Amino acid sequence: MSGFCFELLTTDVRARTGRLSTAHGVIETPSFMPVGTAAAVKAMTPEAVVETGAQVILANTYHLMLRPGAERVKRLGGLHSFMNWSGPILTDSGGFQVMSLAALRTVSEAGVTFRSHIDGALVELSPERSVEIQDTLGADIVMVFDECTPWPVEEVVAAKSMRLSMAWAERSRASFAERPGSGLFGIVQGSVYDDLRRESAETLVGLDFDGYAVGGLAVGEGQKTTFQVLDSCLPLLPEDRPRYLMGFGKPADLVGAVARGIDMFDCVLPTRSGRTGQAFTRRGAVNLRNARHAEDPRPLDSACSCPACRNYGRAYLHHLVRTGEILGSMLLTWHNLHYYQDLMAAMRDAIAESTFDAFAVDFTAEQAMSDIEPL
């Protein structure tokens, strides 16, 4: 489609670099998307998110349809203008949030009926309505409506859920109104069952989507199982389309998934951890609530150029966290997002230089070092 295209640039075994062009800019992959569920990345301004190196963010159909409403956002100039973000935006279809409602929802072939968590109002969400909402918001990357299969799950239940999602994917494809610079991604489902993942991937490839996501993971199955699923299903997806692993994960998760051919990620972990006193560094995660930081003047990570590392010591960050100051959440969130973007940039460089295996070995060794030692 005009204005929306993916160019595969380099490969190093299965790891890839690429360039995804959209109406609102280019995404260099592998890429990590900060999560801005309700049109805001928590504890961050859009300008601060840009300074971390982020190229694209994620917003959520379910939350925005309930408040403030997609039509209102459109009247106010669209989601990019509304939240002052000029780069690309991917909108999750709402399937994961609907799954989490459990007792408040009713699922049928037509779609999902649920009670709003805000005011209890009865709401209906179908594949057609989900795509319409994302179009109304002005998303650059639209996701098909799917049912995120819970974990653990028996194969017969996973099969029924996957086939429902495939039927919804076909309806999403049919209802997608192509706009210059926008694209529609299919979502591979099937839980941990290889035969179901294969059936799902083959169905979606037959529908010819602009990109392909792997969904239904990072729901409790564990890293080893996640990687096994990726090993089996990624070879089934077209090499000339972007591959997106939804809701995943810790730094080591990202490195392992990139090694298997994933191009795009999102996860609430760096922002949520920042609000709870946890920072990610070259030498693993650091809990700023720990008393051992109370008189430590060192930066979180001497190699990091974020404001938290450049201007403040661990003792002050510890103080902010222990006293519940909002500034602590802001600085640690900024640091975590900056760290994630630095990690993605380092992986892109390693792949381009055909040194990714060595990078992964060094990354693992450094993560295992103690952050107490001088950085």
Kindly name the residue from 12, 92, 140, 263 that is annotated as catalytic. 92
Cα–Cα dist 12/262, whole Å? 12
H or E segment to which residue 137 belongs: helix 127-137
Residue 124: φ, ψ to 5°: -115, 135
Collect all residues with Cβ–Cβ distance below 8 Å to 136 and sequence separation of at least 6.
Answer: 70, 71, 73, 74
DSSP type of residue 211: E
Cα–Cα dist 334/224, whole Å? 29
Cα–Cα dist 80/200, whole Å? 32
Cα–Cα dist 33/17, whole Å? 16
Please indicate whether residue 301 is annotated as part of the active site: no
Residue 10: φ, ψ to 5°: -140, 155
**Is the CA virtual torsion 53, 217, 189, 268 positive or negative?**
negative
Measured CA angle at 312 (ends 309, 316), to 5 deg: 125
Nearest to 245 by CA among 29, 7, 28: 29
Cα–Cα dist 144/130, whole Å? 8
Please indicate whether residue 362 is annotated as part of the active site: no
Kindly name the residue from 135, 266, 296, 301 that is annotated as catalytic. 266
Looking up tokens 């190229």 gives 55
Q: Looking only at Cα atoms, what is the longest distance across the chain?
A: 60
Active site residues: 92, 266
